[in-house]
A and B are shown apart, each in its own frame.
Chain A
Amino acid sequence: MATRIKESRGQEMALTAVVAVVIVLLSLLPMLRLVKEIVAPGGTLSTVAIAAGLRSPATWIATWHTLVVGIGGTLLAVLSGTVVAVLVSLTDIRGRSALVLCYVMPLMIAPQVTALAWLQLFGPASPFLKLFGAAPPLGTENPLYSTSGIILLLGVQYGPLVFLLVRAGLRKLPRELVEAARAGGAGWFTVLVTIVLPLMTPSIMAAAALAFVSCVGNFGIPAFLGIPANYLVLPTLIYQRLAGGGPAVLGEAAFLSALIGVIAMAGILAQELMSRRRDYRISSTSLPAEPYELGRWRVAVQAGMWLLIVLVLFLPLFGLVLTSLVPGYGIALTAKTATLDNYRFVLFEHDAAKRAFFNSFWLSIAAAFFAVIVAVPVGYLIAWGKQRWVRLLNLSVELPYALPGVVLAIASLLLFLRPIPLTGIQLYNTVWIIFYAYLARFLVLALRPTISGYHQIDRALEEAAQVAGAGLFTRMRTIIFPLVAPAAMAGGLLIFMTALSELTVSALLWSSGSETIGVVMFSFEQGGDSNYATAMSVITVAVTFVLMLVTNLLAPYLPSGVLPWRD
């Protein structure tokens, strides 16, 4: 046996240990806690919770509704997202970057803001319809309070998600495949149907699975559109149960949230199975295909695209702004009635709203900051680490984000309902439980771009520092962090934007004093104060939009695909 050599790998071990602890705390622990609650509530194996959940008719109705809006929303999103992706990627349409920016925008807007904006368009109190005197009489039901309303908005919200994935796939389509088919005499439409779409099946499937998970887990849209019509899906059912019963019904809520998790996972599995059936691998990489010349159709197609964008983005936002300027419910907007009072009220007068702005800003800044700090070492281990088990880390960080937010919220509740053992620290009923949930849920948003940043960096840059004598921590600080910082920070900004008006998690975790923007917005809307809710929405949308523009400045330093709205 050879003599042992002193390896001095202390820093590497320390880093690995810290990363492992963070991952266990943020992703494994909550998931395990949730599973335990379902199979062994109170410490002993029992099927009571499951049986109780299965017996309740409300469970089955909500499950049915969840499937209906989930599948409907997914179909709509896949259809619209794929069509837009094909038109934007494969034709010689003009103004592509602007189109992409506008089309992807709804993805950056919180679902409940989307819901609120659309509600303002069509309701009897709609200032927009009143501009033309076309508003239905007061007391009429808003047509969006319905199954089809929810499906429509889910499609609008997640169409861009499908668009991004399909577009990424289309970009990798080698032009030889298209050219070979055209040389074989196929017209453009035939090529599209026989070559392009079949090759895009994996992208479309993956996009569909992601859209399905998002639709099934969405809380904001069914909360704003479904609850008034008493049309409950699983996330809203959980919310109502918890709001009514408090911690006593946590066991049932855990069961329901696991049910959502199972439905979401079933969607992902179905996609896996379907894309395994045939070989769609694209072997060569080459330049993308020449755009198809639309010729005299170009103007029409362009007009159609912009009309779509007016419909899904500008009109709803316009409705949102109009309502936020109206002094009260049902009052028509004129130059005389227009007022900024609603903004003044939510920013300076209403206590909970003031607190919410404060809380949401610091929560999202802190979550973004922490995630960036954590993403750099975690990404290092995942992208460059030698140990194979570290790759499993990646999966476990993805988990809390892949699963619907409700699942994580319930898991956090279960975890922190009682004071933390040994320390006696109580997170339940404080803002810290929301902070914890944000970290667990959004870490992956910073991690993904960071990992793609690592893959773009030549590993030799680190090795050069290593032979120069720099230990791991020194390399991290002087070489690695500066190089991946732009990617990690872009991820941080994504987190900030997502967390700022987040509702799903905080709706279940908030308490008096720890309100978030999403929660206060929701309670204004439930109380009929749409004007205040819209004023808050406009502020968050404006902040998001400004941030998107600012982030664009980082774009030259980023791996492509990190900023979803950049073409």
Chain B
Amino acid sequence: MARLSLDNVTKSFADFDAVKDVSIDVGDGEFLAVLGPSGCGKTTLLRLVAGFEKVTSGEIRIGSDVVSNSGGSVAPEKRRVGIVFQNYALWPHMTVAENIGYSLKVAKLDKAVARQKVEDALALVNLQGLGERKPANLSGGQRQRVALARCLVAAPSLVLFDEPLANLDVHLRASMEDEFAAFHKRTGTTIVYITHDQAEAMALADRIAVMDHGRLAQLATPRELYHEPANEMVASFISQGILLPADVLTAEEAGHCKVKVLGTELVVRCHPGERPRAGAKICCRSADLDVSPDGPGFDGLVKRVIYHGGAARIEFTPAAGPDLTLHFEQPDPVVLESGARARLRIRSGWLIPAAGSAS
């Protein structure tokens, strides 16, 4: 088990920064998920940690050893990390047992001991008796398990997953998710888990690093990420947050402040120390909205209603902000109709901290 620290890591391909100034500290035994839209640099980050790419600047440490900085890079085979690849990367010319036992053979472990370890690893992923099969004769889920067993057998101090479930169907995903969680609990290995699936990240991780265009947008626990997004990107990326322009009217008091949104005043959660300012943004979710309230609210036009089973996705344009379009979900019974006028009330929300303020 080992800590993983990244200090201001930057990776440039020619003049393009795939990873820019990222600092992350992953604690011993922590499960960190890296989340972000396609092309934001997740895989590059993982390959930097594994040593397949060299950092342009910054430093990476595993445990107490510096493994990458601008002065050089420890070869991947010397880092003692395990990787589960998205497409499994099982060697087609070897049997399942040979695949799993490869790192033991490379380490010149005693044959009998190695065989026992392979058996144990197979049992760990519920694949007893499949050791003599070739990878080609396994199902997708079984291949993923072999890949997991292959990475575990060497007892690495740090395990990296690159979208390990992206190729599996929904049901298999759920069961593999449980398996990863159980494995983490049992072994206490430090894990960096890359995914673009928020639900997966939320369900598995202790903390989540959200990346955007190569930068670290926010590093926080799943709850904090959902309730207290640090910036607009995270707010809109996580669970499709609704962003609305706001003016802060009062200073923070007990974690709340008063803001004016679309002509109506309301109280939202905020960081300590917020002061009145104009041009702020608040983030709220579908659950924070009341449709057709009796009391105060703001009026607008329902532009579109897309029903998709159990709930509908509504596009709404407030009269006070004709350039804005709000997207939100309304669960059954859906009362709104497209073309109709309606009134909405925001019950609560989160004031997004001003850019540049420390979070």
Contacts and interface: CB of A to CB of B under 8 A. Distances in A.
Interface of A: 1-9, 458, 460-461, 463-471, 474, 478-479, 482-483
B71 A4 contact: yes
Interface in B46-78: 50, 52, 59, 66-78
Given A458-B89, A468-B106, A5 B73 contact: yes
A128 to B, nearest CB: 50
B76 A5 contact: no
Contact of A474 (B69, B106, B151): B106
Nearest to B82: A467
A465 B81 CA distance: 12
B71 A464 contact: no
B88 to A, nearest CB: 8
Contacts, number: 91
Contacts of A2: 59, 66, 69-71
B73 A7 contact: yes
B102 A5 contact: no
A224 B51 CA distance: 60
Contacts of A465: 91, 102, 106
B107 interface: yes
A5 B83 contact: no
A565 B109 CA distance: 47
A471 B103 CA distance: 11
**3 tightest CB-CB pairs across the interface, nearest first?**
A468-B103, A5-B72, A460-B89
Contact of A464 (B67, B69, B74, B89): B89
Contacts of A6: 72, 74
A1 B69 CA distance: 10
A94 B85 CA distance: 44
B80 interface: yes
B236 interface: no
Nearest to B162: A460
Contacts of A466: 52, 75-77
Given A4-B71, A4-B72, A458-B87, A467 B106 contact: no
Contacts of A461: 89-91
Nearest to B72: A5
17 contacts: A1-B71, A2-B70, A3-B69, A5-B67, A5-B69, A5-B74, A7-B74, A460-B85, A461-B91, A463-B83, A464-B83, A467-B81, A467-B156, A469-B78, A469-B103, A483-B92, A483-B93
Contacts of B68: 5
Contacts of B59: 2
B173 interface: no
Contacts of B66: 2-3, 5
B154 A468 contact: yes
Max count, chain B CB within 10 A of own CB: residue among A458, A461, A468, A478: A468
Interface of B: 50, 52, 59, 66-83, 85, 87, 89-93, 102-103, 106-107, 150-151, 154, 156
B49 to A, nearest CB: 11
A1 B67 CA distance: 15
Given A460-B89, A463-B85, A468-B77, 20 more contacts: A2-B69, A2-B70, A2-B71, A3-B71, A4-B71, A5-B68, A5-B73, A6-B74, A8-B75, A458-B87, A464-B90, A465-B102, A467-B82, A469-B77, A469-B154, A470-B77, A470-B106, A474-B106, A478-B102, A483-B91
Nearest to B70: A2
Contacts of A470: 77, 102-103, 106
A103 B296 CA distance: 85
Contacts of A467: 50, 76-77, 79, 81-83, 151, 156
Nearest to B100: A468
A482 B93 contact: yes
Contacts of B83: 463-464, 467
Contacts of B70: 1-2
A9 B72 CA distance: 11
Contacts of B77: 466-471
Max count, chain B CB within 10 A of own CB: residue among A4, A8, A461: A461
B98 to A, nearest CB: 9
B10 to A, nearest CB: 13
Nearest to A479: B91
Contacts of A7: 72-75
Nearest to B86: A460
Max count, chain A CB within 10 A of own CB: residue among B67, B70, B103, B150: B103
A425 to B, nearest CB: 39
A482 B91 CA distance: 10
A9 B91 contact: no
A85 B82 CA distance: 50
A382 to B, nearest CB: 19
Nearest to A471: B77
Nearest to A462: B89
B96 to A, nearest CB: 14
A9 B107 CA distance: 18
Contacts of B76: 463, 466-467
Contacts of A474: 106
Contacts of B69: 2-3, 5
Contact of A468 (B67, B71, B87, B102): B102
Max count, chain A CB within 10 A of own CB: residue among B75, B81, B85: B75
Given A8-B75, A469-B77, A464 B150 contact: yes
A465 B74 CA distance: 16
A33 B160 CA distance: 53
Nearest to A12: B75
Contacts of A458: 87, 89
Contacts of A482: 93
A4 B151 CA distance: 29
Contact of B87 (A1, A460, A478): A460
A3 B66 CA distance: 9
A326 B233 CA distance: 88
A9 to B, nearest CB: 7
B80 A469 contact: yes
A385 B107 CA distance: 25
Nearest to B89: A460
B167 to A, nearest CB: 13
B74 A463 contact: no
Contacts of A468: 77, 102-103, 106, 150, 154
B24 to A, nearest CB: 18
Contacts of B71: 1-5
B186 to A, nearest CB: 21
A9 B71 CA distance: 14
B85 A464 contact: yes
A489 to B, nearest CB: 14
A464 B143 CA distance: 14
Contacts of B150: 464, 468
B148 to A, nearest CB: 12
Nearest to B99: A464
